């Protein structure tokens, strides 16, 4: 990939290397980090070289010419932490890339839409569904809604307007996505505000990687940090029953809807933090949210965790160690390393993969499968 903002825009920090070089750099760095636990080769899942991100956020920047006529542009933060106006972004998916200039041109023509517009977020699917969230520093009124509706119809996208204490959904607050996993289609609704994996092609391969390392079982799966069921739904096909928990209400709503869309009825989704789930398992606290679920009815063999950057807290790490098989997907190698120090006291790492979800940045996603010693 070549981007005219390489070296200026603070988003892509590994800009001096080719795709393959930045990947090798990350592989070597992670091999060194994890060598005390794992010395075999990592399985490597590559990204596309460009146009791989299905969600993106930009500031909106206004500049005035000599006649005081404003021009809008998207903006990122530069390495010097200054505003950097940009006309394109090479890492966003093709549909976001094509939409970006058209959207800005139409917004520029409308005083109502452009006034106090502060930021813009895109969420796109491979089925060409796009949600645009316009974020303002002003109260949004009926006039704004009329103008935004016209924009929605002209561009054939879904628009949400946000301002302090306001969220205006013009037609819908989610997009439809279809993921083809091992030749089978899975259907998802991605809701604005819920977590979704940013690199769809890598996401599909992450799910396939986990499935490839799982035998069909008549036992049960426990999942923490399940989001909208991205892994849960395909993985549930390998287990008798699945119990999946997640802290976000928005994500649990999506997860329940995604189950319906895929006609899956062997998953129980519960809105519950990992810390609360630990308390429920230890019978330390009673939860109304668990009133219809008898934890004793599950015969768990495997636990799947995909925590946020902070990794697992101490009590969750202890709980996870009770399961025969642990599947750990991590977006932060530092906290993964810390957690593996503890988990490798009782479990052995059998598989380790690096997923290059965040190409041209220092970030990388990992997958580890551990089995009880």
Q: Which residue is nearest to ligand SAM (CB)?
A: 227
Active site residue 331: yes
Helix (H, G, I), strand (E, B) or coil at 322: coil
What six digits make up the tokens of 223?
A: 């999942």
349 forms bridges with which residues in the sheet? 370
Interface with ligand SAM in residues 81-100 (CB under 6 A): none
Nearer to ligand SAM, 95 or 251 (CB): 251
Residue of the chain from 226, 290, 327, 369 that contacts ligand SAM (CB under 6 A): 226
* Angle CA 298–301–305, to nearest 5: 95
Per-residue contact flags (x/-) with ligand SAM for residues 145 to 184, judged by CB under 6 A? ----------------------------------------
Q: Is 274 in the site for ligand SAM (CB under 6 A)?
A: yes
C-alpha 334/C-alpha 128 separation (Å) is 35
Could you give the residue ranges of the DSSP H alpha helices within 161-287? 200-212, 232-236, 249-261, 274-281
218 within 8 A of 233, measured Cβ to Cβ: no
Nearest to 204 by CA among 185, 225, 223: 185
Residue of the chain from 231, 239, 352, 360 that contacts ligand SAM (CB under 6 A): 231
C-alpha 307/C-alpha 296 separation (Å) is 25
Q: Is 364 in the site for ligand SAM (CB under 6 A)?
A: no
Give the range of 5-13, 114-122, 270-278, 284-292 binding ligand SAM by CB under 6 A.
270-278
C-alpha 141/C-alpha 161 separation (Å) is 10
Catalytic residue among 3, 222, 259, 331: 331
Give the range of 122-130, 195-203, 254-262, 288-296 binding ligand SAM by CB under 6 A.
195-203
* Angle CA 368–309–320, to nearest 5: 50
Is 208 marked as a binding-site residue? Answer: no
Would you give the DSSP letter of residue 305?
E
The HSE-up count of residue 259 (CA atoms within 13 Å, CB side) is 20
Q: Is 247 in the site for ligand SAM (CB under 6 A)?
A: yes
Nearest to 173 by CA among 185, 189, 152, 188: 189
Helices 333-343 and 19-34: crossing angle in degrees, nearest 10, is 30
Would you give the DSSP letter of residue 78?
B
Q: Is 197 in the site for ligand SAM (CB under 6 A)?
A: yes
C-alpha 187/C-alpha 177 separation (Å) is 6
Is 185 marked as a binding-site residue? Answer: no
9 forms bridges with which residues in the sheet? 78
Minimal distance, residue 122 CB to ligand SAM, in Å: 18
Residue of the chain from 126, 163, 237, 273 that contacts ligand SAM (CB under 6 A): 273
Per-residue contact flags (x/-) with ligand SAM for residues 16 to 35, judged by CB under 6 A? --------------------
Q: Is 195 in the site for ligand SAM (CB under 6 A)?
A: yes
Residue of the chain from 129, 306, 339, 356 that contacts ligand SAM (CB under 6 A): 306
Minimal distance, residue 190 CB to ligand SAM, in Å: 9
Minimal distance, residue 274 CB to ligand SAM, in Å: 4
Is 225 marked as a binding-site residue? Answer: yes
DSSP 114-168: HTTEEEEEEEE-TTS-EEEEEEESS---HHHHHHHHHHHHHHT-EEEEEETTEEE
Q: Is 198 in the site for ligand SAM (CB under 6 A)?
A: no
Give the range of 21-29, 58-66, 68-76, 225-233 binding ligand SAM by CB under 6 A.
225-233
Q: Is 278 in the site for ligand SAM (CB under 6 A)?
A: no
Would you please indicate which residues are annotated as catalytic (active-site) residues?
A: 331
Binding-site residues sit at 197, 225, 246, 306
Contact footprint for ligand SAM (CB under 6 A): 195-197, 224-228, 230-231, 246-248, 251, 273-275, 306-308, 331
Binding-site residues for S-adenosyl-L-methionine sit at 197, 225, 246, 306
């Amino acid at each position: 990939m070549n981007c005219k903002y390489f070296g200026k825009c603070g988003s892509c920090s590994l800009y001096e290397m080719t795709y393959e070089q930045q990947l090798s750099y990350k592989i070597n760095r992670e091999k060194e980090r994890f060598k005390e636990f794992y010395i075999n080769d990592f399985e490597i899942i590559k990204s596309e070289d460009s146009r791989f991100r299905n969600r993106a956020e930009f500031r909106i920047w206004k500049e005035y010419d000599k006649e005081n006529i404003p021009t809008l542009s998207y903006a990122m933060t530069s390495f010097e932490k200054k505003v950097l106006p940009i006309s394109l972004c090479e890492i966003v998916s093709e549909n976001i890339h094509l939409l970006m200039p058209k959207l800005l041109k139409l917004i520029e023509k409308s005083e109502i839409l452009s006034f106090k517009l502060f930021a813009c977020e895109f969420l796109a699917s491979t089925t060409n569904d796009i949600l645009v969230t316009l974020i303002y520093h002003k109260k949004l009124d009926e006039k704004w809604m009329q103008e935004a509706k016209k924009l929605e119809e002209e561009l054939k996208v879904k628009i949400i307007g946000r301002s302090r204490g306001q969220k205006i959904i013009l037609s819908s607050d989610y997009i439809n996505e279809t993921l083809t996993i091992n030749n089978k289609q899975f259907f998802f609704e991605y809701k604005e505000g819920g977590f979704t994996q940013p690199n769809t092609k890598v996401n599909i391969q992450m799910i396939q990687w986990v499935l490839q390392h799982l035998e069909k079982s008549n036992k049960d799966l426990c999942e923490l940090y399940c989001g909208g069921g991205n892994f849960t739904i395909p993985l549930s096909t390998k287990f008798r029953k699945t119990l999946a928990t997640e802290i976000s209400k928005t994500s649990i709503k999506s997860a329940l809807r995604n189950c319906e869309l895929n006609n899956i009825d062997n998953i129980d989704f519960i809105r519950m933090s990992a810390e609360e789930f630990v308390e429920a398992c230890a019978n330390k606290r009673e939860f109304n949210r668990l009133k219809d679920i008898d934890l004793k009815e599950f015969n768990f063999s495997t636990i799947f965790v995909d925590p946020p950057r902070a990794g697992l807290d101490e009590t969750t790490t202890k709980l996870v160690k009770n399961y025969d098989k642990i599947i750990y997907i991590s977006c932060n190698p530092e906290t993964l390393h810390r957690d593996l120090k503890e988990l490798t006291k009782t479990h052995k790492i059998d598989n380790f993969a690096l997923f290059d979800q965040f190409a041209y940045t220092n970030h990388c996603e990992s997958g580890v499968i551990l089995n009880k010693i």
